[in-house]
Every structure is written in structure tokens, then in C-alpha cells.
Structure 1
Amino acid sequence: MANQPRPSPVFDGYPHTHRKSFIPLESNPTVFTQLIHDLGISSDLQFEDVYSIDEPDLLAFIPRPVLALILVFPTSPTYERRKNVREDARAMYEGYGEGEDVVWYKQTIYNACGLYGILHAVSNGEARAFIKPNTVLSKLVTESIPLSPERRTLYLESSSDLETAHTRAARQGDSAVPANADDEVDYHYICLVKSAKNGHLYEMDGDCKGPVDRGMVLKEGEDLLSENALTVVREYIESGGEGGNIGFGLMALVKTPNDE
């Protein structure tokens, strides 16, 4: 029997399906760094694991400023209920163009939440300045920003360059690669970014109705490891439901240290 489109967890008020499936990315900073470089981010940026958000000695190892955070966590009925309640109360995002406070991508590719987390991380804030010209990312950002959210979605789905780079990265890492891209994965990625327009902290999840403005302004000198940003991470960990804080991971997008 041919594979059927899987129902999407997007709470957008109308039936929706994922039209494509990707092999999921391993939560591994080496894999994520390889992918952003492959797509066109300068080697001046890389991902680093954040091993603790409460121990100053461990936080001190993370190069600052942190330009974005990607959080991976186990999904659960508790998480889905909380998300459903929030999304039911929101209207669908309709922003597009250079006037957007943040660049958001709606996810319609199954098992690709890691990729969407990466795209949110590098399309927003200071990180966007590190996109090299004439690359997959420079073309994607330039050509997709003027599009409505739905047309932007179709643009990502149709990018063979994006799919090829993702597939190459998904086959790296230490975990066994799923035999089928349609296999269900019980983990989800979200991204936290600082808007270059208004300085607000945004939660970016392609499985939502749009970007979530957390109502916090990160002032000059405050990055994504500031206390305001870490409050959001703690919310996810503390409301982990059945799994507690087991299975959570956090990666920071940072400038590559100069070893000279």
C-alpha cells in the first residue's frame, strides 16, 4: 500500500496533512553545524551543546553571545494538551515581507522539525548576517520572505537542494537512522530567537499557527542565554509531564571560537 499523508499536529482550525517526510535529524551539534554550513551559513557560526542552564561553571563554556537556542524534548499527552489550548486561542499568522518582526516557516514536512528549527535560527536576528551569497540559504531567504506563509511553505517543500542537504545530514551522527522517513518520532524541536526588529524573544515552532511573541524584550547585551530566555526553556522542562526533564536537550547557535 502506498504511504498516505500523515495527519499534522498543527492546530490551525482545518484538516491538514504532511505532504512529504524526511528522516529526522539527530540532536547533535556536529550534525546541525554541518547542515547549516552545507546550506550556506559561514563557518563563523556553529552549534554547541548546553549541558546545564543552572550551573554557572558549565554555562561559562558557551561562547557568547548566543544567537539562537534549539530545544529538543519528548512530546507527551500533557504537552499536546497545553499546546492545543494555546493554539486554539490564536489566529493564523499572515505575516510576510520585510516588515515581519521575525521570519517564520510553517512545517508541512513530516519529521523535519529539526530542519525548521535550524531555518528559524539562521533566518532571524544576528545570525542572518552570516548567510553567504549565492547559496541555498541566501536564495531561500531572499525568495521566500516576500511570500505568504502558505506559499512560503510550498517553496520549502519544493526545494530539492534543501532536501538533499537535509538527507545528507540526517545520515550522520551516532544514532541509528530510521528505516522509513514516515516512522513516528516522539521528540520535537523548537527554536528561540531574538527579533532584529523589536528585540522581543520569540518561540518559533513550525507546528504552531505562527511565531509566539513571549512578551519579553531582550535588551542590548542580552542574548538567548539571558535569564529571560532561559525562563522559557525552564517552562518546557518543568512542564515536561510524564517524562519530567528526561530526554531534553538544548543547543546554542554561537560564533565559532577563534583559537589563535
Structure 2
Amino acid sequence: MAEPQRWLPLESNPDSFNRWSASLGLETSPEHGGYTFQDCFGLDPDCLSWVKQPVKAVLMLFPVTDAYEKMRKDQDAQVEEDGVEGVEDVIYFKQTSQFLAATLSLPRSLYAACPRRCPDPRVQPAVANACGTFALLHTLANADVPLKEGPLTELFARCKDKTPLERAQLLSASDELASVHEETAQTGQTATPALEDEVDLHFVTFVDHNGYLIELDGRRNSPINHGKIEKGLLEDTVEVVKRIIELTQSIQFNLVTLSPATEDD
């Protein structure tokens, strides 16, 4: 079996996300109806009013706690028993042991960290670098934004009739995608933390899929359907975010939106 690709972590800020996404085909020019990743600076109505609309996706970085892990496992068990409606044609990547193990020799990362509490103990040292990558892939695969022909469009086309595990294998085998990713990841502005730094941060993505608020998290057994969107993608996502903040008892979180590009970006 071929050795899996080794991917460097992405820095968790809009500039890094935009470099990565534009290099792989996201249209970011306002003249061509492009979109860019932008900071969301708060959850109150005034802060939300500054976010450019229409929002196509929301990425959340937050600390994983024991309370959150219990909720996640309980929710996953319920999904396993009852299934999930409305996500049949969502492109979802499962973070496999093989993919996560590809980062085994790389430093832990504050900026795209995945919690050490991985359900598979064999890959616990390896999970630090993949979550930001999967969040971006889930975003661009499902957010209905313009993508130029390239490695991402080719990957997503091949993913449509595959299982989440098969999609992760396609991702791991993409030399072109890995090459662009590595070049972009190395241009980050933040120094990589020491290997022994204890960081439990995780990325998830929220998108509008056929009018439903869908949460995408590679550690889950499937996408999570939070129900019909009532107010708007951003506003309804904020309600879920508030519940996560209350559950984790931490204000250490970050929100990034995928919003229409402007000349100021």
C-alpha cells in the first residue's frame, strides 16, 4: 500500500483560507461573483450586521471539552440508530485513520488543531493537523460558490458517487492537491507551537443545503441536520454556536464566514 500524503496544517485565519482556496480554484474576484473567507467578530446583532451577505458557509473553531465530547457521542449514537434526513447528496469526507496518520511526524498546530480525543487511539498523536483542511473541503464542496476548473472540481466530481471513506482515500491520493496545500500552508504568519503544547481545538463547518442547516465534521459518523433554516444561515448557525459555547463553558472560539468578495478584501 502506498504511503499516504503528509499535509502541513493551515493557519486558522481568513488570509490563509483564502490563499489555500484561491490556489485550488475558488473564484475570489468580486467582478466575477467571487467569495472570500472573512472574520465574524461577534455574535450580537450589531456584529452580525457587518457580515457581508449572502453568507454561503460558517466555520467555527472551538475548544473540545469532556461535556462536548459526551454530547457528540450521544448525538452520533442517535444518528446511528435513526439516520439523518436531507443529507443524501451532501459531499462529506470522513477523517480516516489512514489520512490522520499522514500527519504523524508533523508538529501539533494551534491554528488547525484537531482534538486529541480521537475515537481511534492509534492515531491520537496524529490528529493535530487535519481538521482545518477538512473544514475547507466541506465548505467548498457544499457551499454553492463558483470554482474554477482544477484539482478541487476534479476531486468533487469524483466524490459524488463515493462513500465518505472512499472520498478521504481520493483526497489522500491527490498529489496535485497536496502540493498546492503544502505551498500555501508554508506561507502562514504564525509560528508553529511546540510538539508538547496541549491544544484541544476543532473546526466544524455549517452550510445551507436545500434550506436545511447542515453541520459537517469529519469526526462524525455523518453530517448533522439542525433543521430548516428560519432566519438565515449565519443567524441560525449562531444559535448552534451559542449552545456549543454554553456547553464548553469557554469563550475561546472563532467564526469565519464565506461571504461575497469586495474590493476591500
Query: Superposed, which structure 2 residues align to 1:96-175 within 5 Å?
Result: 100-108=88-96, 109-110=99-100, 111-127=129-145, 130-133=146-149, 135-175=150-190
* Conserved? CA contact 1:69–1:252, under 8 Å: yes
SS at 1:209's partner residue?
coil
| Match among 239, 246, 258 for residue 238 of structure 1 | 246
2:194 is the counterpart of 1:205: no
Q: Name the Cα RMSD after superposition.
A: 2.6
Note the C-alpha offset of 1:153: 1.7
Deviations 1:26-74 (A, max 9, x none): 2100000111101111111110010101141x32322101100000011
* Conserved? CA contact 1:93–1:209, under 8 Å: no
Structure 1 equivalent of residue 69 of structure 2? 80
Structure 2 equivalent of residue 8 of structure 1? none
C-alpha distance 31-92 of structure 1, shift in aligned 2 (>3 A): farther
* Separation in structure 1 between the aligned mates of residue 180 and residue 203 of structure 2, nearest angstrom: 18
Structure 1 equivalent of residue 113 of structure 2? none
* Conserved? CA contact 2:5–2:178, under 8 Å: no
Aligned length: 224
TM-score between both structures, scaled by the size of structure 2: 0.76
The structure with more helix, counted as a fraction of residues: 2
SS at 2:56's partner residue?
strand
Instruction: Name stretches of at least 5 consecutive residues in structure 1 with no aligned partner.
Output: 1-18
* Separation in structure 2 between the aligned mates of residue 145 and residue 92 of structure 1, nearest angstrom: 25
Deviations 1:66-106 (A, max 9, x none): 100000011222222221222123329999xxx93421111
- Runs (4 or more) in structure 1 with deviation over 4 Å come to 92-95, 182-185
> Percent sequence identity over matched residues?
32
Structure 1 equivalent of residue 31 of structure 2? none
Structure 2 equivalent of residue 6 of structure 1? none
Instruction: Name stretches of at least 5 consecutive residues in structure 2 with no aligned partner.
Output: 29-33, 101-128
SS at 2:255's partner residue?
strand
Note the C-alpha offset of 1:231: 0.8
Deviations 1:188-223 (A, max 9, x none): 10000000xx311001001100100112x226xx54
* Conserved? CA contact 1:92–1:210, under 8 Å: no
* Conserved? CA contact 1:40–1:137, under 8 Å: yes
TM-score between both structures, scaled by the size of structure 1: 0.77
